[in-house]
Amino acid sequence: MASTRATVELIADKRRGRVLAPGEIRRLVDGYLQGQIAEAQMASWLMAVCWRGLTAAELQELTAAMAESGGRLELSGLSGPTVDKHSTGGVGDKVSLVLVPLMASLGCFVPQLSGRALGTTGGTLDKLESIPGFRCELSSSEILRVVREVGCVIAAASPELAPADRRLYALRDSTATVQSIPLIASSIVSKKVAEGVQCLLFDVKVGSGALMPDISGARRLAVTLAELASGFQIRAAAMVTAMDQPLGRAVGNALEVTEALDVLSGGGPPDLRALVLEEARELLLLSGHTADPSEALDSGAARERFNAMVRAQGGAPEAPLPLGVRLATLDAPRSGFLSRLDAGAIGLAAWRLGSGRSAPSEPVDPVAGVMCLAKQGAAVERRQPLLELWGRPGQDPGSALLALKRAVRVGSSPPPPRPVVLEHAAGD
Ligand code: URA
C-alpha cells in the first residue's frame, strides 16, 4: 500500500538522494494533476530529480503514472506490426517524413504522434503543414481511420494522451529542469506508451544541434529510453546519431519537405537516405518483418504511401510547395576542406529567418530556412557559395547571416570521416 507521507517529505527525501517507496511517485503525479500538490512543490521535486536522479523502478513508476494520466490509442485488429520511432530532434531532421510512409509501404502500421518546433530544432508537424491543405490536428478516431486505411499517419498528440507530460513539460521548461535524463526519458516514453505501438526505435542525436551536446549523455539517454520502453513490453532499440552538422542539405519547413520527397523518390542527400534506411532496418528487425527498404524507396512505393497519407489528412501532394527567395549566400573564406558546418549555428540562422518559434502560440514561416551547398569534408574553393539563406522578398537576412558566420570553418586537411550512426543500444 502506498504511504501517506506529506509531499514535503517526498521532496526532502529526493533532495537527499533517497529512494521513494512504491506508490509515492504515482501519488505525486496524480495529486499534481488533481490540483492537490502545488506547482512550487512539483517544481522542487523535479529539481531534486535533476540532481539526484531516479532508480529504474522509480522511473518506471513515474512513466506509468504519466502514460496512464489520459487515454490510449486503440490499435488492435491491424493486420501487421505497429511501429514508430522517436527522434530527440535535430537541425534538418526530416527522417520521419520519409521513414513513416516507408515503413507503411513495407507492411507495418505507423501511428506517429509528433510535435511542433520550439527553439532551433524543427517540428515534423510544422514541416508537413507547409503542404497545402495538410491537417495535423486530428481526433483519435480520425487518426485510427487514417492508420487503418493508409498504414500510417503523422498527427499532433491529442490533449487526452499523457496529459501529465504536457503539464510537467511546461513546468520543467519554466524551471530549468528539462535537462535531466530520467525526466526526458519519462516524458518521451509516456507519450509512446499512450500511443500503444509494439515496436519503437529511439534516435538520440548528439552534437551542437541536439538536446544532448555530448556523447556520454546521449549514450545514457539512449540506453535509458530503450530499457524504459522495454519495461512496458515494447520491443525497443536506440541509436545515437550525429548532429554536429545538419542532416541532409535543407533546413526549414518547405525546404525539408522538398528534400524528403527527393529521398522518397529514390534520390536525396546520401547521409539522409543512409539514416532512413538504417532506421528502417532496425524497425524491421524489431518487428520480425522482412523486406527491402531501399527497394521501396527506389520503386516509388514509399512515395505513393506518402501521397496517400497526405491526401487522407486533407493535403494536396501534387500542389506546389510554398517557395521563398534566396536572400543571401555565405561563401568559403578560403580554399581547403570544410571542417565545420555547425548544426547549432545553422539552426539558429533558420530560426532567425522565421522557420521556428520561441513561444508555442507563434506561427512559423514555411519558406524560411537555410540550404547547405556543401557538407563537412568537402573540398571547397575560396568564394564558393557554401550556405544559402531563404525567406520572403525584401526580408533582412542580417541577424541570420551573423549566426551563420560562426557555422563554417575551412581547414587545410580533410576532417576525419564521421558516420551518421555512432552507436546502437538495445532494450532488455
Ligand atoms: N522531448 C520530449 O518529448 N520531452 C522532453 O523532456 C525532451 C524532449
Q: For residue range 218-274, what is the model confidence (pLDDT) as tens digits?
A: 999 999 999 999 999 999 999 999 999 999 999 999 999 999 999 999 999 999 999
286 pLDDT above the threshold of 90? yes
Q: To the nearest whole percent, how much of the chain has pLDDT over 90?
A: 89
Nine-digit cell at 320? 506546389
Instruction: Give yes or no for residue 2 having a pLDDT over 60.
Output: no
Which pLDDT score, from 0 to 100, does residue 162 have?
92
Q: Which atom of ligand 1 is nearest to the CA of 183?
A: 6
For 404, the enclosing helix (H) or strand (E) is: helix 398-405
Which is more confidently placed, 377 or 427? Answer: 377
Residue of 114, 180, 187, 287 with catalytic role? 187
pLDDT tens-digit profile of 323-372? Answer: 999 999 999 999 999 999 999 999 999 999 999 988 878 889 999 999 99
Residue 187 Cα to ligand 1 middle (Å): 6
Tell me if residue 191 is catalytic: yes
In this structure, the answer to whether residues 19 and 41 fall within a common structural domain is yes
My answer on whether 239 and 166 are in the same domain is yes
Same domain, yes or no: 259 and 116 = yes
Mean pLDDT of the chain: 95
217 shares a domain with 143: yes
pLDDT of residue 115: 80
CATH number at residue 9: 1.20.970.10
Task: Tell me: do 149 and 235 sit in the same domain.
Answer: yes
Domain that holds residue 24: 2-53
Do 218 and 119 have their domain in common? yes
With cell 510535435, the residue in question is: 115
C-alpha span between 207 and 211 (Å, rounded)? 8
Q: Catalytic: 172? A: yes
Q: Helix (H) and strand (E) counts for the chain?
A: 16, 13
Per-residue pLDDT at 1 exceeds 80: no
CA of 382 to the centre of ligand 1 (A): 41
pLDDT in tens, 295-332: 999 999 999 999 999 999 999 999 999 999 999 999 99
**Residue 332 CA to ligand 1 centre (angstroms):** 36
Is the residue at 306 inside a domain? yes
**Residue 188 Cβ < 6 Å to ligand 1:** yes
Catalytic position from the list 26, 86, 127, 235:
86
Across 219-289, the runs of DSSP E, i.e. the strands, are 235-242, 250-251
Within a domain: residue 77?
Answer: no
Query: Residue 399 falls within a domain, yes or no?
Result: yes
Q: Which of 127, 191, 249, 305 is catalytic?
A: 191
Residue 61: inside a domain: no
DSSP 188-205: HHHHHHHHT-SEEEEEEE
Give the Cα separation of 23 and 10 in Å (integer). Answer: 11
Q: Is 424 a catalytic residue?
A: no
Which pLDDT value is given to residue 276? 98
Beta-strand runs (E) in 35-134: 83-87, 110-114
- For 245, other C-beta atoms within 10 Å of its C-beta total 26
179 domain residue, yes or no: yes
Say what the pLDDT of residue 158 is.
84
Question: Is 86 tagged catalytic?
Answer: yes
- Residue whose Cα lies nearest atom 7 of ligand 1: it is 184
* The predicted structure's pLDDT at residue 160: 85
Asked whether 354 and 409 are in contact (CB, 8 A), the reply is no
Residue 217 inside a domain? The answer is yes
Q: Are residues 350 and 367 in the same domain?
A: yes
Q: Quick one: 97 and 161 in the same domain?
A: yes
- Edge to edge, the sheet with strand 250-251 lists 250-251, 369-372, 385-391, 325-331
Q: What is the pLDDT of residues 76-92, one digit of tens each?
A: 889 999 999 999 999 99
Q: Give the closest residue (by CA) to ligand 1 atom 6.
A: 184
Is the same domain home to 16 and 121?
no
Q: For 136-190, how does the pLDDT look when each residue is reduced to its tens digit (9 = 90+)?
A: 999 989 999 999 999 999 999 888 899 999 999 999 989 999 989 999 999 999 9
- What sign does the CA torsion over 19, 179, 272, 411 have? negative
The span from the CA of 263 to the CA of 425, in Å, is 26
Residue 116 lies in a domain: yes
Rounded to whole angstroms, the Cα distance separating 112 from 118 reads 18
Indicate the number of domains in the chain. 3
φ/ψ of residue 426, rounded to 5: -115, 155
Give me the residue label for grid cell 545514457. 220
187 catalytic? Reply is: yes
Judge whether 219 and 240 are in contact, CB under 8 Å: yes
Say whether both 146 and 284 belong to one domain: yes
